[in-house]
A and B are shown apart, each in its own frame.
Chain A
Amino acid sequence: MTTIIWTWVAAFFTLAILSFLYKDNPLYKFAEHVYVGSSAAFTVLYVWVFDAYPKLVIGFKEKAGMQKYMLVIPLLLSLFIILRFIRPLSWLSRWSIAFTVGMAAGLGITGLTQGFLVPQVQASFLPLFVRGETVGQTVLLTMNNVIIVFGTIFTILYFYFSREHKGVLGVSSKVGVTILMLTFGASFGYTIMARISLLIGRIYFLLHNWLRLV
């Protein structure tokens, strides 16, 4: 019985959001505000459950010696963030923000170079002639490698704005645009696919769980 009632609640909220398609209306606004309010509460809850409690409370309880004293630093930095809500001390929150920004920058540099640029550039060094088992295969494999190597280079060149796109740069950036159009088209096709899948999920809920037609 409880499941049935709760399924009706879920169906109500689903239909309330869908009603936006007709036009903006109080029912939609109601659902939207419930969503925003509860998401914010969610954040507070999981910061406590998965961060503050296990890392700080349990940390202070279980760690010993130097490790325990060192926890004071992140504790202070975390408290400083909350101090933002108190005007005269809000400047202290900049220390915490500065720390997270510095860390994010450091992590970004290392991840992007070691984990992205180097391996991606390496993977683009492909032979421009590949011998396959048949002539057709040779043509296809060679063409694929040529597209990968020059497609990548020309796309990068297209985004190079320090010189006017004339001459060689002009031609290469034209090829770059062609590759980009294929890329964006494919991405757009995938995006449509994704959004439709989400709708299928919701309509399936309405037809299966709520109305029990399927």
Chain B
Amino acid sequence: MVNFLKKLAGIDRRIIYLAVFLATAVPILTKAILKIEPLPEVRKAYEYIESLPEGSIVMVSIDYDAASMPELQPMLETFLHHSFRKNLKVIMLGHWALGLPLGQQALEEIAKKYNKKYGEDYVFLGYRPGVAAVIINLGKEFRNVFSGDYAYTPLDSLPLMRKVRNYKEIKLLYGLEAGAVGDSWIQYGYARYNLPIILGTTAVMTPDYYPYMQANQVISVIGGLRGAADYETLVGISGQASIGMLPQSVIHLVIIAFIIIGNVGFLVLRRAKK
């Protein structure tokens, strides 16, 4: 018995890998969708977007790439559904060049579903290097950063952009953050120009944004796959984040079980040594 307990402290890593794989794959195969109660911060973000009057201009920043796609892509898609359903105008840009196509493909695809017209209802600007410098200069004049959109069409030939000179016309910045670009949006965009900000962040980054939330420097933060699933629930979509909630739950329990097993083995070993 004691020997068996001691062994619990040193389970082969491949057994853990297999358990992790099965705990992810099997729940996905069941196709079950769990009912969730949205977190307060996600509800706050949702309500802010709900409160925007029709025709308001919102801006989306693609600050992630395929590495965090499972978490942030559903947040982007839900936001686009939400915005187009409410007839908001969407301007998209990005600070992570590798992730830009993820943003643009979703934008085109969802805009099509709502019969939105490029140039009038939505615009894709693209990317410029230099994060903080880009954010500051956009606050002065969009044209000095982007003379044209992603296809080099001059901004003034796009009806939507004719109305936009700087952040005064932007009613919300929705930043999707896999790194520290969100800090720059807050430290330059909000601090200098009072740009209203909601961030969708990967779970790795989420804890870092709580101090900003408490200081009211951001309206709210939608964090991780759970946040994405909450947002999907509020908007009434059952997307990939909602599907992910069952495997996410199961695997958390599996990892917790391993932590407990490891500790039992550890404590027995330590006692035996004494």
The CA of A148 and the CA of B211, in the complex, are separated in Å by 10
Residue of B nearest to A192 (CB): B255
The CA of A148 and the CA of B248, in the complex, are separated in Å by 31
Q: Which A residues between 196 and 212 are near B, CB-CB below 8 angstroms? A: 196-204, 207
- From known contacts A42-B98, A201-B240, A214-B29, infer whether A111 and B132 are also in contact, taking CB-CB under 8 Å: yes
The CA of A83 and the CA of B200, in the complex, are separated in Å by 40
A138 CB to closest chain B CB (Å) equals: 20
Cross-chain contact A200 with B207 (CB below 8 angstroms)? no
- Does A112 sit at the interface, judged by CB under 8 A? yes
Cross-chain contact A194 with B214 (CB below 8 angstroms)? no
- Does A132 sit at the interface, judged by CB under 8 A? no
Which listed residue, B20, B70, B128, B184, touches A197 by the CB 8 Å rule?
Answer: B70
Q: Which A residues between 40 and 94 are near B, CB-CB below 8 angstroms? A: 42-43, 46-47, 49-51, 53-55, 58-59, 62
Contacts of A112 on B, CB cut-off 8 Å? 187
- Looking at chain B's contact residues, the main secondary structure is helix
- Does B263 sit at the interface, judged by CB under 8 A? no
A212 CB to closest chain B CB (Å) equals: 12
Cross-chain contact A111 with B191 (CB below 8 angstroms)? yes
Cross-chain contact B152 with A54 (CB below 8 angstroms)? yes
Cross-chain contact B192 with A114 (CB below 8 angstroms)? yes
Cross-chain contact B68 with A198 (CB below 8 angstroms)? yes
Cross-chain contact B128 with A50 (CB below 8 angstroms)? yes
B225 CB to closest chain A CB (Å) equals: 4
The CA of A1 and the CA of B248, in the complex, are separated in Å by 33
Interface bits B115-155 vs A (CB < 8 Å: 1, else 0) = 00000000000111100110010000000001110001000
Cross-chain contact B127 with A58 (CB below 8 angstroms)? no
- From known contacts A148-B214, A190-B207, infer whether A196 and B248 are also in contact, taking CB-CB under 8 Å: yes
5 closest Cβ pairs, A-B complex: A201-B70, A115-B187, A123-B215, A115-B191, A194-B203
Q: A62-B147, A214-B28 are in contact. List 4 more A-B contacts (CB 8 A).
A: A194-B203, A196-B248, A196-B251, A200-B248
24 A-B pairs within 8 Å (CB atoms) are namely A46-B100, A50-B128, A54-B147, A116-B187, A120-B211, A123-B214, A123-B215, A190-B204, A190-B207, A190-B224, A192-B255, A193-B203, A193-B248, A194-B224, A196-B24, A196-B247, A197-B71, A199-B24, A201-B71, A201-B240, A203-B24, A203-B25, A203-B28, A207-B29
Identify the B interface with A (CB < 8 A).
14, 17, 20-21, 24-25, 28-29, 31, 67-71, 97-98, 100, 126-129, 132-133, 136, 146-148, 152, 183-184, 186-188, 190-192, 202-204, 206-207, 211, 214-217, 223-226, 240, 243-244, 247-248, 251-252, 255
